[in-house]
């Protein structure tokens, strides 16, 4: 099954990006789903390498790489 998840929030400050990536990772794990992540607006900031992760937050870069390692695609 193919899924398109649109992320239009920045990596930190809300949990929307984290929740979208967590959903993508679980869909890949449970269903071997074909995931495409669309990054729009502030969501493009999620793709910047080497960001400092604020204390108490998950590392969005690491989660994005995990989705891509399982053949997930990212569209800007």
Q: How many CB atoms lie within 10 A of CB 5?
A: 17
CATH number at residue 27: 3.40.1260.10
pLDDT computed for residue 31 by the predictor: 85
On the question of pLDDT at 76 being above 90, the answer is no
Q: How many CB atoms lie within 10 A of CB 45?
A: 16
Cβ pair 43, 11 in contact under 8 A: no
Number of domains forming the structure of the chain: 1
pLDDT range class, residue 21, cuts 50, 70, 90: very high
Give me the domain span that covers residue 20: 2-75
Average pLDDT (2-12) is 95
pTM recorded for the entire structure? 0.90
pLDDT computed for residue 30 by the predictor: 87
Q: In this predicted model, what pLDDT tens digit does every residue of 22-67 receive, in sequence order?
A: 999 999 998 889 999 999 999 999 999 999 999 988 999 999 999 9
Q: How many CB atoms lie within 10 A of CB 18?
A: 19
């Amino acid at each position: 099954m193919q899924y398109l998840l649109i992320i239009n929030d920045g990596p930190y400050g809300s949990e929307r990006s984290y929740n979208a990536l967590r959903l993508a990772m679980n869909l890949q794990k449970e269903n071997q789903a074909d995931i495409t992540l669309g990054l729009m607006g502030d969501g493009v900031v999620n793709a910047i390498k080497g960001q400092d992760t604020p204390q108490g937050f998950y590392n969005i870069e690491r989660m994005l790489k995990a989705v891509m390692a399982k053949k997930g695609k990212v569209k800007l």
